[in-house]
Amino acid sequence: MALIELAGIERRFQLGDTTVKALAGIDLTIDAGEYVAVMGPSGSGKSTLLNLLGLLDRPDIGHYRLEGRDVTTLSADEQAKVRSTRIGFVFQSFHLVPRLTAAENIALPMMLAGIAPAERARRVTAALKDFGLDQRADHKPDQLSGGQRQRVAIARATIMQPPLILADEPTGNLDRHTGEDVVNLLEALNARGVTLIVVTHDPGMGERARRRLVMEDGRLQSDSAGAPG
């Protein structure tokens, strides 16, 4: 079943007098459980596409169906609800709240969703263990290494058990070795059935994805799903 269906998506930005078409007519279908890498030169619209898929941004033209439901027409609060339960984000710069501990950062989506403290504690303990962070539960982000921070961020993205994980250059701020770790974690999630969409500049990482989208000037230049092999 198609998890994501994009039809005729356009996203324009007004920069002074000129209009930039960050996305210029995207048609795309992604099935549940897929592992997709989005590649392409800088400024080609990869982040814009991901933000749109994550309901952080709205298209100017076109329709976006998530799990069969048209989400472009939802109100801001309804979209927030979808983000809370259906989508997990992993960012290049981690985006951890500096004053909260690793455990509190992981629990943040559950706290925002109003989940009871006991249930939160249970899930956080399990997540800390899964991601090898049990010794780091009470550490603030500035007491963690880059790799550990990104693991906290991935734990946070998965804590609400969303069917879709969006990662924008998750290894961009990491060295090769720790980046490898993070990719393994994300792939393990995908192996358990979570749909994974990763924006990356790293061809090696792109190779590992089962499907590669290459963007250029706001368009899909190639889609390995359509190509043979």
Partner 1 sequence: MRPADILRFARDAAAGYPLRTTLSVLAMAIGVAAVVLLTALGDGARRYVVGQFSSLGTNLVIVLPGRTGTGGFNPATAITSTPRDLTIADAQALLRAPAVRRVGPLAVGTSEISAGGRLREVMVAGANRDFFAIRNFELAQGEALPDDDWQRAAPVAVIGAKVQEELFGREPALGRLVRVGDRRLRVIGILRPTGQGLGMNTDELVIVPVALAQAMFNSNTLFRILVEARSREAIPAASTQVLELLKQRHRGEEDVTVITQDAVLATFDKLLGALTLAVAGIAAISLAVAGILVMNVMLVAVTQRTGEIGLLKALGAPARTIRLAFLTEAAMLSASGALVGYGLGEAGAFALRQLFPVFPAYPPDWAVIAGLLTALSTGLLFGFLPARRAARLDPVQALMKH
Ligand X SMILES: Nc1ncnc2c1ncn2[C@@H]1O[C@H](COP(=O)(O)OP(=O)(O)OP(=O)(O)O)[C@@H](O)[C@H]1O
Residue 140 or 219: the one with the smaller Cβ distance to ligand X is 219
CB of 146 to ligand X, least distance (A): 19
- For position 114 contacting partner 1 by CB under 8 A, the verdict is yes
Residue 15: contacted member of partner 1, ligand X, Mg ion, none (CB under 5 to 8 Å, by partner type): ligand X
DSSP strand pairing (61-66 vs 2-15): antiparallel
| Count of residues in contact with partner 1, rule CB under 8 A | 28
What are the angstrom distances between the C-alpha of 91 and each of 40, 63, 118, 127, 199? 18, 25, 28, 19, 10
Ranges within 121-150 binding partner 1 (CB under 8 A): none
Task: Please name which of 108, 9, 109, 110 lies closest in space to residue 50, comparing C-alpha atoms.
Answer: 9
DSSP strand pairing (87-90 vs 164-168): parallel
Q: Three-class SS of residue 107?
A: helix
Tokens of 35: 């592992």
CB of 218 to partner 1, least distance (A): 16
- For position 88 contacting ligand X by CB under 6 A, the verdict is no
| Interface with partner 1 (CB under 8 A), residue from 7, 56, 137, 225 | 56
- For position 43 contacting ligand X by CB under 6 A, the verdict is yes
Q: Whole-angstrom Cα distance, residue 175 to residue 140?
A: 21
- For position 81 contacting partner 1 by CB under 8 A, the verdict is yes
CB of 140 to ligand X, least distance (A): 28
CB of 134 to ligand X, least distance (A): 34
DSSP 194: -
- Mention every residue, 6+ apart, whose C-beta is less than 8 A from residue 100: 108, 140, 141
Binding range to ligand X, per CB under 6 A, among 12-20, 24-32, 83-91, 133-141? 12-20
Residue 78 or 134: the one with the smaller Cβ distance to partner 1 is 78
Q: Whole-angstrom Cα distance, residue 65 to residue 86?
A: 13
Residue 160 or 205: the one with the smaller Cβ distance to partner 1 is 160
Tokens of 6: 């994009």
CB of 222 to partner 1, least distance (A): 26
- Mention every residue, 6+ apart, whose C-beta is less than 8 A from residue 160: 84, 85, 88, 109, 110, 113
Binding range to partner 1, per CB under 8 A, among 19-27, 64-72, 94-102, 195-203? 94-102
Which residues contact ligand X (rule: CB under 6 A)? Answer: 13, 15, 20, 22, 40, 42-48
